[in-house]
Amino acid sequence: MKKALQFLLLFSILMMGITHDADAQRKKKKRKGDVDEYFDDKGNFAQRLWYGADISLRFQQTSLGGAPGNVFFGGFSPMAGYKITNEFSVGPRIEFNYQGARYNIGGPDDLKYNSTNLGLGIFARYKFLETFFVHLEYQRLGEEEPLVQNNQLVVENNALVTQRFWDDHTYVGGGYHSSFGVVGFQVTILWDTSQAFDSNNIPIVYRAGLNYKF
């Protein structure tokens, strides 16, 4: 968690440095006596906020306790960003997701389980060329998964026993957005760097949603 927060802080500092010169040059062109844009009626705190919501999907082949399985993730995530500059913004993000899985432990029927999870995170986003953006995010996610003991799934009354825990995720990626006035559509592709990348697990997350004033 500490490393992820440090990574996000360094990214934020870098993006602020990139945009600092352009922002400074723009401010120099302002007429003497003008009110700073952060405090006039067109640039106060509320005016620099934007909002969005994504739907994310992911399918994964996995193995727990020696039992092969398939997992489906579906999430809904509202978010709010604050524009430090017109291009660079930071903010919080909340995720509500559903997780459904089935595992084959050798019997005639697969064992299934379903869970609802909550994630809390922060993100930094840098927009460029008007329609593209780079996205970095740290998330703390409360997840429920089947319990494994002695390298085997625990089963009671022909049902999987589950456990709940909090896990850290760091996402790196980018996306595309198009605007229709103050309302826009966004598509994001992210790599979950906290998970192993192999033939059975490709930790890529796809999100699509809407934004307002981005």
Domain segments of the chain: what residues? 2-30+46-212
| C-beta separation of 37 from 176 below 8 A | no
Radius of gyration for the chain, computed over Cα atoms and rounded to the nearest angstrom: 21
- pLDDT at site 10: 46
- pLDDT at site 20: 46
Tokens 């559509």: give the residue. Answer: 185
- pLDDT at site 110: 85
pLDDT (tens, 9 = 90+) of the chain, 214 residues, equals 554 444 444 444 444 444 444 444 444 444 444 444 444 445 689 999 999 999 988 888 888 888 888 889 899 999 999 999 999 999 999 999 999 998 988 777 788 889 999 999 999 999 999 899 999 999 999 989 888 888 888 888 888 899 999 999 999 999 999 999 999 999 999 999 998 887 667 889 899 999 999 9
Predicted TM-score (pTM) of the model is: 0.73
Give the tokens for residue 172: 């790196």
Give the tokens for residue 56: 């994310």
| C-beta separation of 148 from 65 below 8 A | yes
Tokens 């022909």: give the residue. Answer: 158
- Architecture of the 2-30+46-212 domain: Beta Barrel (2.40)
Provide the β-strand partners of residue 52: 79, 211
Q: Pick the closest to residue 12 from 138, 152, 97 (CA basis).
A: 138
| C-beta separation of 175 from 196 below 8 A | no
- pLDDT at site 43: 60
- pLDDT at site 133: 98
Q: Pick the closest to residue 171 from 2, 7, 37 (CA basis).
A: 7
